[in-house]
Structure 1
Amino acid sequence: MSRIAYQYVVLRCVPRPEREEFINVGVVVHCQSRDFLDSVWRCDPARLHALDPGLDVDAVRSALRFVEAVCRGEERGGAASAQSLGQRFGFLKAPRSTVLQPGPVHGGLTADPARQLERLLERLVG
């Protein structure tokens, strides 16, 4: 099976930006040639509270659900959901929040973008 190029960003929870500490909580993968854009995430309250005991974990989950909605073109993703996949990925890879931030864009090759998304979640988020 041929391998195709994809891009991804890791979503980081940064509860206290002044401390420059973060925990990886999700991944967004975009594969233009397969018209693929999706995200997966895991939000472990104990890990997040280790960085900031007062963190609103429900707010972090809500932000991650918003990312899912934008990826999938769902109404709850607002105006960004109506854009093309490439524009949606551009929206998601740009920093918008002080608590949930995308890391740098990385790329790779894969035969199956959906499977690669799950692999990245396991490797980068745990």
Structure 2
Amino acid sequence: MSPVSLSRSERIARLNDRARQAMGLACVAVATEGFRGLPEADQSRVRELVETYDVFTPDNDPYGERDFGTIYRDADGRWTTSYPAQGKPSEKVFWKLDAYDRALQFGSEDPANPAVTRRVLTIMLASEY
């Protein structure tokens, strides 16, 4: 399927996927103070899960743009993209993608057009949202 025949949402989703998978190259990547306060090994694991995130559903991705997700730490300290089966998570991390104009001053007029858009990926503790 050529990019021209893709829906606007699918073009945005593919650009968002590329941004996640090439953090810091295909987007500007930022992390909040709380997330940066986690041990380095935890930060690394969460970034890996953000890069490979693929659990999008109509509930967590209603517009089909793949621009938001949640990573959970279970009671055993493991990070996962699935809500822990036993008990509530000991920590939640959100990631989100926003589309800005090329100067990063305003929202993009056309997030489906990479020529006029820069993406910013933010990783944060859910408690900081």
TM-score (norm. length: structure 2): 0.34
Computing the radius of gyration over CA atoms, which structure comes out larger, 1 or 2? 2
Q: Higher helix proportion, which one?
A: 1
